[in-house]
């Protein structure tokens, strides 16, 4: 089945000569074989590919020309929530406090970021954002969320200043096992 003009066939032959990518060369050959009157099953057998590959190559050429055969560029930030410029503007709101030496809380930054983008995100996204713009980690967690304040106070009362927990024993009482263990 012939679909190309003589001018297009000449351009395809020139493109075949100068193309270095073997996959693109093979697809150009599939188009030229179609122009010679070969059927898709014959082209598939001659080129050693499946019938669906031949069909996809013909459809790609019909819709996009030779450029449709070239691989699409990969890489980059395809799943970004904001552009780099938008991120920079977002962080500028917090830069004044950070420049003054104040500590910023990741949780507050995360909440503001989620409001800006309109959906929830993980804390790692915030840390990656900060790393992209050369910001350091901001603040460690000040306390464990499931802490027991009464147990902490009891521990502080039990251990005298300047001594280990097990060293406060009196006659007959043995120190805790932890003081016998060496690391």
Q: What are the pLDDT digits (tens) for 32-66?
A: 999 999 999 999 999 999 999 999 999 998 888 88
Which of the pair, 145 or 23, is modelled with greater confidence?
A: 23
Look at the block and give the residue holding tokens 């992209």: 132
Q: Give the Cα-Cα-Cα angle 98, 103, 109 (nearest 5 degrees).
A: 80
Report the C-alpha gap between 44 and 111 in whole angstroms.
56
Instruction: Provide the Cα torsion 86, 87, 89, 90; round to 10°.
Output: 120
The three-class DSSP label of residue 165 is helix
What percent of the chain clears pLDDT 90, i.e. is strictly above it? Answer: 32
Of 111, 100, 110, 114, nearest to 130 (Cα)?
A: 110
Judge whether 72 and 48 are in contact, CB under 8 Å.
no
Where is average pLDDT lowest: 70-74, 152-156, 164-168, 172-176? Answer: 164-168
C-beta neighbour count of 26 within 10 angstroms: 17
- Can you tell me the distance from the alpha carbon of 58 to that of 27, in angstroms, rounded to the nearest whole number? 8
Instruction: Kindly state the average pLDDT of the residues 145-163.
Output: 80
What pLDDT does residue 73 have? 76
What is the arithmetic mean of pLDDT over 105-123?
91
- Beta-strand ranges (E) seen in the chain are none
- CB-side exposure of 133: number of CA atoms within 13 Å? 19
pLDDT value, residue 34: 92
Nearest to 87 by CA among 123, 134, 120: 134
pLDDT at 183 over 50: no
Q: Are 21 and 32 in contact (CB under 8 A)?
A: no
């Amino acid at each position: 089945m012939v679909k190309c003009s003589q001018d297009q066939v000449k351009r395809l032959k020139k493109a075949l000569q100068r193309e270095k990518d073997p996959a693109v060369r093979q697809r150009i050959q599939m188009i030229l074989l179609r122009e010679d009157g070969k059927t898709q099953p014959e082209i598939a057998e001659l080129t050693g590919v499946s019938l669906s590959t031949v069909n996809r190559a013909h459809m790609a050429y019909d819709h996009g020309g030779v450029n449709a055969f070239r691989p699409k560029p990969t890489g980059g930030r395809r799943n970004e929530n904001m552009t780099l410029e938008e991120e920079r503007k977002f962080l500028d709101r917090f830069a004044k406090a950070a420049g003054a030496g104040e500590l910023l809380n990741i949780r507050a930054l995360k909440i503001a970021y989620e409001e800006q983008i309109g959906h929830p995100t993980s804390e790692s996204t915030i840390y990656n954002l900060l790393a992209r713009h050369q910001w350091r980690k901001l603040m460690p967690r000040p306390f464990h969320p499931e802490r027991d304040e009464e147990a902490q106070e009891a521990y502080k009362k039990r251990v005298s200043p300047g001594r280990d927990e097990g060293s406060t024993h009196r006659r007959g009482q043995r120190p805790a096992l932890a003081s016998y263990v060496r690391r």
